[in-house]
Amino acid sequence: MATETAIPGLSAELTSQLREELAKHPAISKAILFGSRAKGNFRPNSDIDLCLIAPELSFSEYLQVADAIDEILFPYSVDLILAHQVENPDVMEHIERVGVIVFSAFP
């Protein structure tokens, strides 16, 4: 995976706002874009798939992050998952294979 990159199909301003929101939560070490936007075969109405590396993130904080991201990225639909809760090894393999880091707390 590469270092922080823009989210394909989103403005630099929206990407910046997303990073600012993620940076407010010390429990989040990385956000990884996966799915069609990471692969580059997205459509204008494609959702945004994000995987958070945040094993210490509480459920209430997860809900706060999800709500804030939904507000920032509206009208796009966002699928937000936590890496430590993914049970399907195929999903994790996909994230590791095509994932693009869009936020890192440790540059």
Q: What is the pLDDT along the chain (107 residues), one digit of tens a residue?
A: 445 667 888 888 888 999 999 999 999 999 999 999 999 899 988 999 999 999 999 999 999 999 999 999 888 899 999 999 999 999 999 999 999 999 999 87
The alpha helices in 4-88, defined as continuous H runs, are 12-23, 36-39, 59-73
Structure tokens at 22: 């993620």
Domains defined along the chain, listed by start: 12-104 (3.30.460.10)
DSSP 95: H
pLDDT at 3: 54
Nearby residues of 11 by Cβ (< 8 Å), 6 or more positions away: none
Strands (E), the chain: 30-34, 48-53, 78-82, 100-104
pTM recorded for the entire structure: 0.89
